Amino acid sequence: MSNHTLQEKVALVTGGSRGIGRAIALSLAEAGAKVIINYQGNEQAALETLNQIKEIGGVGEIYKADVSSAEEVNSMIKNIIDKYQSLDILVNNAGITRDTLIMRMKDEEWHQVIDTNLTGVFNCVRAVTRPMMKQRFGKIVNISSVVGINGNAGQINYSAAKAGVIGITKSAAKELASRGIMVNAVAPGYISTDMTENLGEKVTENIVSHIPLGRVGTPQDVAKMVLFLAGPNADYITGQVISVDGGMAM
């Protein structure tokens, strides 16, 4: 394990079982943090992430909880703090998509995405606020999206939620700064994951044509930025939204 900038730190990554969440969990573990991998449905994938962490000599565990449930989130945070005596880093990454055009969108397709992608972030931020204020330290990194900045046809629910995450980030940053808690957001562009895989070659080609750097991003591209914001090199940075999108949103 290379750098130990996060030695002794305890980190929770929501939606840490696959894709961007997995890459984030691995990079935090590699930097020496104890990583709790939150997942909702796919225990197998969460265990795979944990095994990869163990392979690099890291420490972690998996924790099943639905972030859209305040009750489940509160109990998860309490259990983590009871066990580890602290929670230093929270990465709000859990997210789902239910893409369709506005006029076809069903109520539940709206609510499911808002509940997980927006209310889920609020639930987690609220739950860690008191313990982080007590320890007078905390790093919260919220995963937004390029579509939270630019919007996207067929994703009004997802775009609204990801824009909302930016609002949460800035409000929480202002409220918590005096207690040594930094809150930032990362806005990934088009990243190659399970979530984007099924879009097909034609759509992907079209997207790449709008990316100045001319390639899709990798989960590691996002994880490196999260690691930076979670670590000591970002101790004077709060309330920021940093795009990791190959220049898509500029």
Catalytic residues: 158
What amino acid occupies position 115?
D
Backbone phi, psi, residue 24, to 5°: -65, -50
CA dihedral 209, 18, 232, 167 (to 10 degrees): 70
Centre a 10 Å sphere on the Cβ of residue 240 and count the other Cβ atoms it contains.
15
Burial of 118 per CB tally in 10 Å (0-12, 13-18, 19+): buried
Task: Identify the three-state secondary structure at position 189.
Answer: coil
DSSP lists the bridge partners of residue 244 as 188
Question: 3-state class of 109 per DSSP?
Answer: helix
Residues in the chain: 250
Cβ–Cβ under 8 Å, residues 39 and 46 = yes
Residues 6+ apart with CB under 8 A from 10: 33, 34, 36, 80, 84, 86, 87, 88, 89
